[in-house]
Amino acid sequence: MRSDLAAQLFGELLVNAAIIAAPLLICTLLVGLVVSVLQVVTQIQETSLTFIPKLIAAVLVLIVAGPWMLKRLAEYATRLIANIPNYL
- Band (pLDDT 50/70/90 cuts) for residue 1 is low
- The pLDDT confidence band at residue 86, using thresholds 50, 70 and 90, is confident
Residues 9-18 have pLDDT tens digits of 999 999 999 9
Number of H helices, E strands in the chain: 3, 0
Answer whether 49's CB lies under 8 Å from 35's CB: yes
| 46 or 19, greater pLDDT | 19
| Structural domain harbouring 7 | 3-87
pLDDT of residue 87 exceeding 90, the answer is: no
Cα–Cα distance measured from residue 65 to residue 72, given in angstroms and rounded to the nearest whole number: 11
Give me the number of domains the chain comprises: 1
Instruction: Summarize pLDDT for 25-79 with one digit per residue, the tens.
Output: 999 999 999 999 998 898 888 878 889 999 999 999 999 999 999 999 999 999 9
Q: pLDDT at residue 5 above 90? A: no
